[in-house]
Structures are given as C-alpha cells and as structure tokens.
C-alpha cells in the first residue's frame, strides 16, 4: 500500500494511492487508519513529505562503490549522523542552496520509516517494527563536509532532506534499483543488494543505541555517482517499487 500525506482543502490528511486515485483516510499510520470519505486525483491536492520524523538517522558510506569514490575505507560498523526535522522537504518543493556553500550535491537513498517503538530489536525481527519505505535525497554541502567525520553542518541546512512521494508498506528492501536523474540524465544507478549494512542490521544496530520512535527515519546511504546541483536544476530520486521523488534547486 502506498500511504501519502497531503494538504487538501486547507487540512493535512493521509491517503492511499489506489487505481491512480487518492483514497482519503482518517487517523494516522502510527495509530490506526480508517477508510475516509472521498477520492481525488493527485492534482487536486498538494503532496507533503509523507511523514514528520522525530529524528532521521543517516548512514554514511554504506555502498562499497561510494566509499571508493571518496577514497575512504570500508566501514566495519555503521557510520551514523543525524539530520534535523527542520531539513525536511516535500515532493516538488525547492532545495535552497545556502550562501555558505559553493557546491551542493544530491544523494539518492532508500529510506526506512519506523512504524512502532523499537529498542534492542534483533535483526531477525526488524521488519516487525518497520511501517514501510520511501525515497530520500541526502542533500549535502560537499565543500563543508570534512573527511574526518562531523558531517552535521554539511547535511543539515533547511530543505536538505527531500522525502517522498509516499510510503510503500509492502516491499522487500533487499533488492531494489536506486537511481538519481539530474535534469533527466541518469547520474546514480545501483541496487540495495550492494548495501554494506542491510536494513535488518541497521535496525538492530541503531535500536541498540537509542529508542526508535514511530515516524523516525533511517536513511540507508547512497551509491556512487553523487554530484553537484545548480540553481534551476531538477533532481529526481527513483527507487524500484516505490516511485519517483522530484525537486528543483534554487
């Protein structure tokens, strides 16, 4: 099921995509969703980011080819940093280049959405705690990112976490094509089979450190091919089985 969050008639609502239409729902995905009243086309509402996370846990260097791209060693445990909720950006909204940076890069990523509170969850039970998956763009001010870690500043500007277009709840994340297109030209192309640490292992590791709350995100890392975006560019993240997240740059 594709769950989405939208602004319709001045109110934030949840819905599900079915047969090319949005079926409005009542409630929220982290409590109980009920069938709502009415159907509409996507053009009748404005898509919002599909979830409002308390925290977004991001995994760096989680594809071997990406680590090689930056001449960095393969991690022996997940490299973790956090993006703040203020970086969240809706599908179709503009990524704003900050004045402090001369190079802002795209990074296509599979994003895990936590469905219920998780603490010390073994990998074999990880999927019991996942609501679903969405597309993400770990936008990065590359010239502000030091090689020795401490990436928070480079990754946390407002609009640096585009997310969407919806959450796919029925998906096996172990073998999905992940791509990025800059102005229609494919720049990134890989598959989640190439992740160093897969989704179950990430849930196990992160939940051993901190409690994961409903709506929290795990951004699983990006493959090779990252590159700069300039004002006026359009960047699209496409993940097999989920859909396409499109944003422009200003």
What pLDDT sits at residue 70? 81
Predicted model pTM: 0.96
Q: Is the pLDDT of residue 146 over 90?
A: no
What pLDDT sits at residue 65? 84
Q: Is the pLDDT of residue 147 over 80?
A: no
Hunting for tokens 């990006």 — which residue is that? Answer: 222
Region(s) of the chain under CATH 2.30.30.370: 2-47
Q: Tell me the C-alpha distance between 51 and 14, whole Å.
A: 10
CATH topology of domain 2-47: SH3 type barrels. (2.30.30)
Q: What is the average pLDDT value for the chain, to the nearest integer? A: 95
CB neighbours of residue 154 within 10 Å: 21
Region(s) of the chain under CATH 3.90.850.10: 49-249
pLDDT in tens, 216-231: 999 999 999 999 999 9
Q: Is the pLDDT of residue 149 over 80?
A: no
**Mean pLDDT within 26-34:** 90
Q: Tell me the C-alpha distance between 195 and 191, whole Å.
A: 8
Q: Is the pLDDT of residue 167 over 90?
A: yes
- DSSP secondary structure, 150-205, as one string: --HHHH-STT-EEEEEEEESS--TTS-EEEEEETTEEEEEEEGGGBSS-HHHHHHH
Was domain 49-249 assigned CATH 3.90.850.10?
yes
């Amino acid at each position: 099921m594709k769950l989405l969050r939208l602004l319709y008639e001045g109110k934030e609502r949840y819905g599900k995509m079915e047969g090319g239409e949005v079926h409005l729902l009542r409630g929220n995905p982290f409590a109980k969703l009920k069938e709502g009243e009415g159907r509409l086309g996507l053009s009748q509402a404005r898509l919002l980011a599909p979830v409002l996370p308390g925290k977004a846990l991001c995994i760096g260097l989680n594809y071997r080819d990406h680590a090689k791209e930056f001449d960095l060693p393969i991690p022996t445990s997940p490299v973790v940093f956090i993006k703040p909720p203020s970086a969240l950006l809706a599908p179709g909204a503009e990524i704003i280049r900050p004045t402090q940076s001369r190079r802002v890069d795209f990074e296509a990523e599979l994003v895990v959405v936590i469905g219920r509170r998780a603490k010390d969850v073994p990998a074999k039970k990880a999927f019991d705690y996942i609501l679903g998956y969405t597309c993400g763009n770990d936008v990065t001010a590359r010239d502000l990112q030091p090689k020795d870690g401490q990436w928070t500043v480079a990754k946390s500007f407002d609009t640096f976490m585009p997310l969407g277009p919806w959450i796919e709840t029925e998906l096996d994340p172990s073998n999905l094509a992940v791509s990025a297109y800059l102005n229609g030209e494919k720049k990134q192309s890989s598959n989640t089979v190439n992740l160093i640490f897969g989704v179950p292992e990430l849930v196990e590791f992160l939940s051993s450190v901190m409690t994961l709350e409903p709506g929290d995100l795990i951004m699983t890392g990006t493959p090779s091919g990252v590159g700069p975006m300039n004002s006026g560019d359009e960047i699209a993240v496409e993940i097999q089985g989920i859909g396409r997240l499109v944003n422009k740059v200003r």
